[in-house]
Structure 1
């Protein structure tokens, strides 16, 4: 795994043209290990920012309490303002996860295509303004959630009242069941259709609604393939989870009837170590998941656009190769 920045004009790590499932599964790993240090930094940065903000908040709170001991038992206006500001700051910082997810996806596309060397600086420049777009996206999701809750109450409340009065004859329960089936089916459909929202916002610098439209366009005619690719990604994550988990269970079963204190201590240490490996592996799996989705987006974007679409998207590079052409090498004189 490489921690240093590669030299300019790096070769593409994936073939030109649309990708097969094997290209995406193996290619995501090649891309990930090529710049493991960068991907790990992008993963941890939002949490480090959140940790730093918490330290600052704690320091300010301690200083306020030391200056005014009443703050321990009585909420002063200044403390209320501080807690509200901290809560809002945590909400905004939590949305940075999506921004760094977008940066990870751009870096993955950079390495897959060989178009540019991703660095923290140029990734930050290419995702400038994305936080605001993510905020709008989350507000849209929040508004949709409110509408769905209101619709759910408006539909289910009369059914519950009718059933409670004894006039439903069991039809209300059937209706409620069918409604929930439709609701979960719609949620499943929407989840697949929105697969490419974050990569579209990051790579194409689209606003929230255009990014949603773009995701719908890319999943059009490829719904079940998109779901299948996501399912494979989920199975990879499940395997990472299950292997150390089953090892821990095996240790517990093997020592369930042990009466030796040393054996019990060894079992607890072994279980703790296995669970630690599991959590670390799942943490390191997250960038792979982002790169995998980015390659899904890249391959599907090539497929939809055809051979006339060059990369990168913004701005269109007149010298860019078409999707189905290999990267241009250095010119040679015969």
Structure 2
């Protein structure tokens, strides 16, 4: 486009009166267009990637200077070959004698400037393309890293969930076989959710809420009358999307630490949806875990991984706060996620 404007269209606008430009002029213009295009793409596809981007800065600069000399020499040789100078002199100054040794300095400066512009533009284009390629590769590597890390984190959460749930059912078989069978039925429905939905990066919030409700119902079967459940779950009205099994570790934490066979306790689980925003809250008493239980040796792997998943999936779109109320011996969690 630059060649067309500068070398072809521009002369049409400044030719004087009825003076017709000679054929040699247009031959030189076409020659300049061809050689500048060759310079542009040679620099962009060869010199920049193979010399400049390899750190050979001085060799690249030397090549550009040598190219400038060769460019100027080719232009001068082509002008002499086609008789350009005499034709232009006869067109614009027919009443003056022609001196073959005299050159038009502004024209030579303009031609060298065209060479410099071609080199500068092609270098810029090549560097931008290299940056775009590197940025695309970096994003692809980041995406693969995030997907790999998320798969690893979910793989850690799933065995953790099944370990706790199967332990609960195993304990229930000694007390009530019918309830144990009912628990297995609920667990099979939950396993179906885990197998089919957890393999995806996202699922419907309505399915996640049903999974939570099944989990709570499963936990109820092993709770005594000393545990009071305060469940406030709002059914989603819109087809909102959420990462699967994202809330499970918080529920596990409630039932793992907030249940005692000797003391009164209360567990609060609240799910509220306002527009595209999910509000999730849990609160439970804190009781010491049996030191002989395998859970006593865990280090909150589910909660740690969920924090990491939230930071990866919902960066700058979630707020997670949790803490311990020493006075009431309660642990609380407040999670807000923008699901838009």
Query: What TM-score, normalized to structure 1?
Result: 0.20
Between Structure 1 and Structure 2, whose CA radius of gyration is higher? 2
Higher helix share: 1
Higher strand share: 2
Query: What TM-score, normalized to structure 2?
Result: 0.20
